Chains A and B, each alone.
Chain A
Amino acid sequence: MDAPQHSAEPPLSPLDDAQAGLLRVARLLYSAAGTAEQINVSRAVDQGLDDQLIEFEVKTVLWEAVALLPPSLRLDSGEQSDHHASDRRDDLQSTLRAAALELRRGPLASFPAGTSTLHTDLTGLIARLDASPCSQTTGQSPE
């Protein structure tokens, strides 16, 4: 996602296992949102509308996850520069699947309230992406 190079700040208090897991999910979704945005960055709204709508969905799920976490936690892990975000559909799908997998680690009851809804929305998004006619083995959206 388009964001400046902000320097890191320490977390305010230690996270429990569920919060740490949810933070990993949020960071994966943040990365996915960056990919979705890169796919659309050079395209007009009426071109590749399917991808424009997917970007909106991915970000909505991201905000859903972020809203469940305490404030002041970094979303960019620093392992991948935002200036080199992928613009490939298959990268987007694999990142979303990784986030969904992360949500299945540990009992759902240990996560904050609202996580089950997040899980439902995320798996629904993945299913729609997989079923999309643009979802090819190369992951490239047609022009």
Chain B
Amino acid sequence: MSTRAQLLARTDQLARDLLADPDTSVGLGPYQDWRDMIHQAAEAWRAADQTPGASLGQDPFLGIQSMINNAGQPSALSSGDSDARVTALTIQLGRVTNHYRFEPDHRARSSTARAQRVQGSVLHAGYLVTHAAGLALRRELAATKKPDLLAEIGRARETVGIAEQILDVYLHHKPARSLADQRLDIALTRWTATAHHVLSEQPPEPKNNYIVSDVQHGLLAHTAALLQTAAQPGQAENDRLAEQRERVLPALVRSADHWRQVRQAWAGLAAPTTGISRELADAARLLNQTLRDPELDRSGHAGHLIAGTLGAAVNIARGLADAFESDRLRAPTDVVVGLTRGALERLPDTNPYQVWMGMTRHEGRAPVALPVPLRDDLTQTALRNVEAAQTVRSAAHVLLDTSSHIPPTVDRVRSPGVQAADRAVATRPRDTAGPRR
């Protein structure tokens, strides 16, 4: 029977080998089983974090899992061989999970230390495999000549890239200094997961999607506020923050403008009535409450957390674009007619007769599908928002450099295997984000 240390060392080894010695013969192999690996890593995390009072804070995998479930599995990428090492790592994480769930702790060892050890190993494994999956997708993108695959690979890279960024934040950020920071951790994760859940519902509900876009706009405002608080002029160590702020703020402003446009688009489809997701309202309330907490470490940790959510914002923006594209989206007939008139004014080459003849009704309150020109018009607004969100995420990546505003000391248990994996990560080529479309 393997000990915990042996299990975790083997996990570290598998993850490190996967990244350091990629098997390009399996093509998208690392990506094929990436979802299963993430789900198993999440189980391992939760198995180790099951002791009350030894909580590691919020679950870093919750938002990633929600994002994966919402994105679904691209059909064109589901064929092909798996990478045996990812499969082996997933099995290994399963053993770790079972060990922590069912094996008693014979040694007098603190729950917190045990949880931290697993934190280090599982996060590193998840991070390295995610990065390997991203590299496999990048290679496939460069190699493929099929246009229909390009978009699917691009979206898959987006999802994997955001997951990598989330894991990166958790790997390198220091433990929350206060309960307020921990609560913000929890609230941000809960919001992201709730937004993804709402966006996955069919048919799309305009009132709920309005709230999602509005809260995202509010988060941008809070990010800007935290940036301004953190970068106070006159202190040498903050001069770099001030410079970073000057790079990020313009992108934030542009992104906020696009979120407002998306918000307005959903408001145009949503009647001002009651009947919203209680879950969404609760998540928004919790987020607002934690952001107002006077004990929040606005000069460091909080800004770091917020910046980490900008990656999730890209996928939420994409979910909203998908909602506009859904042929199950409905709105009252009189609303659709009014909006379609506006869309047709912006599309002079479109034959309005065909558009109107294609509608099943032209007056009244009964729900009706959106004509293609209107749906395309709204989708383009949403896609511009996606690009703006990608831009601000790229610009804000500098905020994730922990040397800038978070003390370098991290009180975590680090095994030799984890340290070696860190060295491998430190020398990896950085994948600079940019617009995918």
* Interface presence of B329 (CB below 8 A): no
Nearest residue, chain A, Cβ from B287:
A60
Bound CA span A118–B232, Å: 35
Question: Interface digits, A89-122 against B, CB 8 Å rule (1 contact, 0 not)?
Answer: 0000000000000000000000000000000010
* Interface presence of B332 (CB below 8 A): yes
B274 touches A26 (CB 8 A): yes
Q: Which of B249, B271, B276, B365 contacts A63 (CB 8 A)?
A: B276
Residues of A within 8 A of B285 (CB): 60, 63-64, 121
* Interface presence of B268 (CB below 8 A): yes
Nearest residue, chain A, Cβ from B286:
A60
Bound CA span A49–B218, Å: 10
Bound CA span A71–B276, Å: 8
A9 touches B267 (CB 8 A): no
- Whether A55 touches B272, Cβ cut-off 8 Å, given contacts A1-B267, A44-B256, A46-B249, is no
* Interface presence of B288 (CB below 8 A): yes
A71 touches B267 (CB 8 A): no
B222 touches A63 (CB 8 A): no
* Interface presence of A20 (CB below 8 A): no
A46 touches B224 (CB 8 A): yes
A75 touches B275 (CB 8 A): no
Residues 346-404 (chain B) with a chain A CB within 8 angstroms: 365
- Whether A70 touches B224, Cβ cut-off 8 Å, given contacts A7-B365, A9-B365, is no
Residues 216-236 (chain B) with a chain A CB within 8 angstroms: 217-218, 220-222, 224-225, 228
B275 touches A72 (CB 8 A): yes
* Interface presence of A86 (CB below 8 A): no
Bound CA span A73–B271, Å: 10
Residues of A within 8 A of B220 (CB): 45
A3 touches B274 (CB 8 A): no
CB distance from B196 to the nearest CB of A (A): 18
Bound CA span A4–B207, Å: 13
CB distance from B142 to the nearest CB of A (A): 37
Q: Which of B221, B224, B267, B281 contacts A67 (CB 8 A)?
A: B281
Where chain B touches its partner, the secondary structure class is: helix
CB distance from A40 to the nearest CB of B (A): 9
Residues of A within 8 A of B338 (CB): 4
B275 touches A49 (CB 8 A): no
A4 touches B221 (CB 8 A): no
Q: Which of B268, B278, B282, B288 contacts A4 (CB 8 A)?
A: B268
* Interface presence of B214 (CB below 8 A): yes
A63 touches B221 (CB 8 A): no
Residues of A within 8 A of B253 (CB): 44-46
Bound CA span A55–B217, Å: 10
Residues 48-98 (chain A) with a chain B CB within 8 angstroms: 49, 52-53, 55-57, 59-60, 63-64, 66-67, 69-76
Nearest residue, chain B, Cβ from A118:
B285
* Interface presence of B137 (CB below 8 A): no
Residues of B within 8 A of A70 (CB): 274-275
CB distance from B389 to the nearest CB of A (A): 14
- Whether A2 touches B267, Cβ cut-off 8 Å, given contacts A44-B256, A49-B221, is yes
Nearest residue, chain A, Cβ from B280:
A63
Bound CA span A73–B338, Å: 23
Q: Which of A1, A30, A45 contacts B224 (CB 8 A)?
A: A45
Bound CA span A121–B338, Å: 37
Bound CA span A43–B102, Å: 57
Nearest residue, chain B, Cβ from A47:
B253
A55 touches B218 (CB 8 A): yes
A74 touches B221 (CB 8 A): no
Residues 1-19 (chain A) with a chain B CB within 8 angstroms: 1-4, 6-7, 9
CB distance from B260 to the nearest CB of A (A): 8
Name 10 A/B residue pairs within 8 A (Cβ), A-sorted: A2-B267, A4-B268, A4-B335, A45-B221, A46-B228, A59-B214, A59-B284, A67-B278, A72-B275, A76-B272
Residues of chain A having any CB pair with chain B under 8 Å:
1-4, 6-7, 9, 23, 26, 30, 44-46, 49, 52-53, 55-57, 59-60, 63-64, 66-67, 69-76, 121
Residues of chain B having any CB pair with chain A under 8 Å:
211, 214-215, 217-218, 220-222, 224-225, 228, 249, 252-253, 256-257, 263-264, 267-268, 270-278, 280-282, 284-285, 287-289, 292, 332, 334-335, 338-339, 365
